[in-house]
Structure 1
């Protein structure tokens, strides 16, 4: 069974990798959806890289779609530019408007449970409503 892949785009390689690890661990048990970080620049600096995003998307592509979550500003713009190109990212790649950490966890849990791309997007987006008080 192919699962929806998840790409986490951050300005920081450490942030992207840490959130990816947390999402994978909390999704736990059974078949885990592929989650890949795409943080920082190829030289290790802060920023975003279309090359790293493309590589991460190819790594998680199982043919069921890819949910991309981005942290802020230029990360969102870089993903939008790649999507506008039309052939830079695998077919079925979608930018998801969701909070980065909570959305990533919700996406990973739903994808690991076999949810399709629409369900993964819905779960991640619903994370905007999580109340902490």
Structure 2
């Protein structure tokens, strides 16, 4: 049963990563990353530097949120059970969960900083 849960978790993780890559590619190509070169040559070229920055921003946000979700699921259940047994530990357990949520915020900040480089 444990192996089945692990396999399901890994399958869902792989599906989320693939979906994030597809969505980041669609968004990167739809926000005018394809620009014509200035000058006489009017062929459309892909600005790979901008596309890779957009991909890096999406990976940074996605992995940070994934890590925060895993951390919150582990520390949140422990915090709830600790607070149920001893109510005076509520603030400490809440602080641990808040620090785990900060991981997602850090990833979002990195993503925004990379996006502003575009």
Normalized per residue, the structure richer in helix is 2
Normalized per residue, the structure richer in strand is 1
TM-score normalized by the length of structure 2: 0.30
Whose radius of gyration is greater, 1 or 2? Answer: 2
Q: Which has the higher contact order (CA 8 A, sep 6+)?
A: 1
